[in-house]
Amino acid sequence: MKIAGIEPTDFHNLYGIARNCQVQCEACPVTWEVTVSRRWMRNSLIYLLIVVAVITVFFLFFDNGPLKDAREIPISEVVELAENPGNERILIEVQEDDLTIRVGATTYVSRKEPGSSIVELLDQVGATGNVSIEVQDSGSGLGSIIGLLINFLPLILFGGILLFMMRQAQGSSNQAMGFGRSRARMFVGTKATVTFFDVAGAPEAKQELEEVVEFLKYPERFVALGARIPRGVLLVGPPGTGKTLLAKAVAGEAGVPFFSISGSEFVEMFVGVGASRVRDLFEQAKRHGPSIIFVDEIDAVGRHRGAGLGGGHDEREQTLNQILVEMDGFESNTNVIVIAATNRPDILDPALLRPGRFDRRVTLDSPDIRGRTAILDVHAKGKPLADDVDLQNLAQQTPGFSGADLANLINEAAILAARRNKKVVGQDEMLEAIDRLIAGPARKSKLISQHEKEVTAFHESGHAIVGYFMPHADKVHKISIVARGRMGGYTRYLPDEERTLQTKNQFEAMIATAMGGRVAEQLVFDEITTGASNDIEKATQIARAMVTQFGMSDKLGPRLFGKREEMVFLGKDLGEHRDYGPRTEELIDSEVDRLLQAGREQAERIINEQRVHLNAISSFLIEHETIDGKQMVEIVEGRDPLVSLVPDPEPASGSDESEETETPSSSSETEEPGDRGHPPDIRDANPQLGLD
Q: Indicate which residues carry an active-site annotation.
A: 460
Distances (CA, A) of 640 to 229, 460, 462, 612, 649: 66, 20, 20, 15, 19
Of 366, 288, 208, 358, which is closest to residue 17 (Cα–Cα)? 288
275 CB-side CA count, 13 A: 14
Gap between the Cα atoms of 483 and 487, Å rounded: 6
- 361 membership: H or E segment, kind and range: strand 360-363
Q: Is 569 left (phi over 0), alpha (psi -120 to 50) or beta?
A: alpha
Distances (CA, A) of 256 to 235, 293, 344, 590: 20, 11, 29, 63
DSSP-assigned states of every residue in 621-669: HHHHSEEEHHHHHHHHTT--GGGGGSPPSS-TT--HHHHHT---SS---
Q: Is 484 helix (H, G, I), strand (E, B) or coil?
A: strand
DSSP-assigned states of every residue in 19-74: HHH---STT-HHHHHHHHHHHHHHHHHHHHHHHHHHHHHHHHHH--GGGGGPEE--
Q: Is 615 helix (H, G, I), strand (E, B) or coil?
A: helix
Gap between the Cα atoms of 447 and 221, Å rounded: 69
Under a CB-based contact definition with an 8 Å cutoff, are residues 631 and 643 in contact? no
- 467 membership: H or E segment, kind and range: helix 450-469
Cα-based angle 248, 571, 591 (whole degrees, multiple of 5): 160
Q: Which residues contact 549 (CB under 8 A, 6 or more apart)?
A: 560, 561, 679, 681
Strand order in the sheet with 336-342: 185-187, 258-262, 291-296, 336-342, 232-236, 360-363
Q: Which residues contact 180 (CB under 8 A, 6 or more apart)?
A: 272, 273, 276, 277, 280
Of 331, 317, 321, 265, which is closest to residue 293 (Cα–Cα)? 265
